[in-house]
Amino acid sequence: MLNQKWLHTIRWKFIFFGMTSAAATALALYLGDTLARYLIAYPPFIRPLSWIVNTIGSTPVMVVGGIAGFITMFFMMSGSTIRYMEEIHETLHEMGEGKLDNKLSVRSGDELGRIAGSINRVSSELQQSLEEITSGLEALAGGQFDYQIPVRTGELARVAKSINLMSAQLSRSIEDERNAEKTKNDLITGVSHDLRTPLTSVLGFLEVIDQDRYKDEVELRHYVNIAYEKSKSLLKLVEDLFEYTRIAGGLPLNKVELDISDFVSQLAEEYSLTFEKASMTCRIKEAPESLIILADGDMLVRSFENLLTNAIRYGHEGRYVDIVIARMANKAVIRFINYGEPIPQHDLPYLFDRFYRVEQSRSKETGGTGLGLAITKSIIEAHGGVIRAESGREQTVFEAALPLYTA
């Protein structure tokens, strides 16, 4: 490769031009001197040629003529190379103005030929990159936010990466907006459905009472009691809905340091009467070490209360509710375990969705609003944690993992 570059170099070309020009000039001087010696013998040329020889001298004339001849010959012979250089310069100037479709002809293997080849290659790559970027921008303008511009090298690669990043962010923003709109519509639909059912019952019984269509005072009190219970269900739903929207909207947290074992033990103690009424026992297995988290105690109580309430409501057949506290890497893990009827596997992925209920008839009977676990999930996630559920024949587990506090 080095030998080829050494051979195919513009230096040899200019050496050739110089040597050829010198030889041509020497030949011209020799022929001119011979012609002058021949013509000086004829009368028309005697006086001018004799004057030049006697006054100026033949040597100065030949030197001046030789220099002029050499320069003329050199300019003539190197003209094509100079024009090629000017063509390269003009093409580079046009590229600077954005005209990338002009191509140079590669006439030789020397430096100029390699420069021309490099310019053509750069021009083609620039043109291709710009066409790809233009196509990508047109696709984005047409709403194709998943379109990815091929990323090559150089500064245009940074432009392509930036456009792809912008496209991805824009796509995510639009998807988030669509999800937010869908969430809002789903929320409105769910609220409307859950409010309409008990409200229809309340209005129905009040209409019976208003029109005096009851048999006696016992039946009247029965209808009033039903309307009262339905009204309490409505109030519970409205309160849960208000709390969910408040938490999901980014409620500021008043975080303090909490020992999770002491926190859970205190909560279980407060629920001792509830466990006693349900003929159940709460067993707590604490971690061997103190696990400190940074949390809003009031909010965390609300989430754990929902998990305990569910464990009592749906696990009373198992007689026990176990709370296991452990450390997993840099997280405090709290597991609420009941031994009641298992949750169907097809329901598990949707447990923490708004208004989702497992076994609709049982949920209506127990008075659930379908927002408790959604509220729990929002609170846990607001603390930077995660929650999941698993269920089998032997037990049902709700597991919350919260980041440990490091001072």
User: Would residue 340 count as lying in a domain?
Assistant: yes
User: Would residue 119 count as lying in a domain?
Assistant: yes
Verify that 66 and 202 share a domain, yes or no: no
What pLDDT, on the 0 to 100 scale, is given for residue 160? 79
User: Would residue 159 count as lying in a domain?
Assistant: no
Check pLDDT > 80 for residue 360.
no
Verify that 106 and 125 share a domain, yes or no: yes
- C-alpha 402/C-alpha 387 separation (Å) is 9
Check pLDDT > 60 for residue 362.
no
Answer yes or no: are the C-beta atoms of 338 and 315 closer than 8 Å: yes
Verify that 244 and 228 share a domain, yes or no: yes
User: Would residue 339 count as lying in a domain?
Assistant: yes
Q: Check residues 104 and 314 and name the one with the higher pLDDT.
A: 314
For 390, phi then psi, to 5°, come to -145, 150
Verify that 209 and 348 share a domain, yes or no: no
**Among 195, 223, 249, residue at a domain's last position:** 249
- C-alpha 54/C-alpha 50 separation (Å) is 6
Verify that 234 and 350 share a domain, yes or no: no
Residues in CB range of 112: below 8 A, 6 or more apart: 10, 81, 84, 85, 88
* Residue 244, CA distances (Å) to 73, 189, 301 in order: 94, 16, 15
* Mean pLDDT in residue range 124-152: 79
Q: Check residues 194 and 318 and name the one with the higher pLDDT.
A: 318
User: Would residue 113 count as lying in a domain?
Assistant: yes
- At 5-50, the pLDDT tens digits run 666 677 888 888 889 888 988 898 888 888 888 887 778 877 887 7
Verify that 230 and 211 share a domain, yes or no: yes
Tell me the three-class secondary structure of 285-347, residue by residue: ECCCCCCEEEECHHHHHHHHHHHHHHHHHHHHHHCEEEEEEEEECCEEEEEEEECCCCCCHHH
Check pLDDT > 60 for residue 4.
no
Query: Measuring CA to CA, which residue among 208, 230, 232 is closest to residue 220?
Result: 208
What pLDDT, on the 0 to 100 scale, is given for residue 364? 45
Verify that 226 and 309 share a domain, yes or no: no
Number of domains in the chain: 3
Domain that holds residue 187: 167-249
Verify that 173 and 258 share a domain, yes or no: no
Verify that 242 and 262 share a domain, yes or no: no
Q: How confident is the model at residue 385 (pLDDT cuts 50, 70, 90)?
A: very high
Q: Tokens 């995510």 label which residue?
A: 172
User: Would residue 83 count as lying in a domain?
Assistant: yes
Verify that 287 and 241 share a domain, yes or no: no
- At 275-296, the pLDDT tens digits run 999 999 999 999 889 999 999 8
User: Would residue 153 count as lying in a domain?
Assistant: no
Check pLDDT > 80 for residue 344.
yes
User: Would residue 156 count as lying in a domain?
Assistant: no
